[in-house]
Amino acid sequence: MDTMAYIAFGFYTIICLGGALWAVTRRSLVRAFAGLVTSLLGVAGLYFLLAAPFIGLMQILIYVGAVAVLIFFAIVITGASREAQERITTTKKKRCLAVLAGLIPASFLAMAITKYSLVTNNTPPQVSMEDLGRALLGPYGLVFELISVVLFAAMAGAVLLGFKRRQ
């Protein structure tokens, strides 16, 4: 059973990081978008493996369902898929600097994590959906209200920005 878990972990890791790599290296934005969706599904699989099925389902619902569709509509509306045809050359120096900028913080944090080990257990606890709901409406009620205000403000702002100004 343990080896099965490791195999599943490796599988989802490959989906996750492979999709992310695909998303940042493709020139065409539509292909990058496909990589992003693959990566998000891989993260959802990792959530399921971590015994957090509710978060995994929310990941699929919110990211793969809503945010991805939003990004796709933006690609379609702005015609970014057509613009991809013209080749934009990225200088080698810029590419090297981007690799460094991604690598340095990640490797620094990785060093910190591997050096200062925490007390860990390999069997994640189960948190029922009922407990999560009770916590959201009980001790963390204010956060729940605040996030709805933030979402409302974002929605209203998007509608306001989307209106065409009359000349």
Q: Interface residues for another protein in 110-139 (CB under 8 A)?
A: 110, 113-114, 117-122, 124-125, 127, 131-132, 135-136
Can you list the positions of beta strands (E) in the chain? none
Work out whether 9 is an interface residue with another protein (CB under 8 A): yes
Residues touching another protein, count (CB under 8 A): 80
| Binding residues for another protein restricted to 14-33, rule: CB under 8 A | 16-17, 20-21, 23-24, 29, 32-33
Work out whether 47 is an interface residue with another protein (CB under 8 A): yes
C-beta pairs of 65-72 under 8 Å, 24+ apart in sequence: 68/33, 68/36, 68/37, 68/40, 71/33, 71/36, 72/33
Rounded Cα distance between 72 and 78, Å, is 10
Q: Which of 90, 108, 111 is nearest to 24 (CA)?
A: 90
For another protein, which is the closer residue by CB, 3 or 117?
117
Work out whether 48 is an interface residue with another protein (CB under 8 A): no
Contacts of 55 by beta carbon, 8 Å cutoff, 6+ apart = 47
Contacting residue, 102, 137, 141, 145, with another protein by CB under 8 A: 102
| Binding residues for another protein restricted to 136-155, rule: CB under 8 A | 136, 140, 143, 147, 150-151, 153-155
Work out whether 7 is an interface residue with another protein (CB under 8 A): no
Could you tell me if 54 and 129 are in contact, meaning their C-beta atoms sit under 8 angstroms apart?
yes
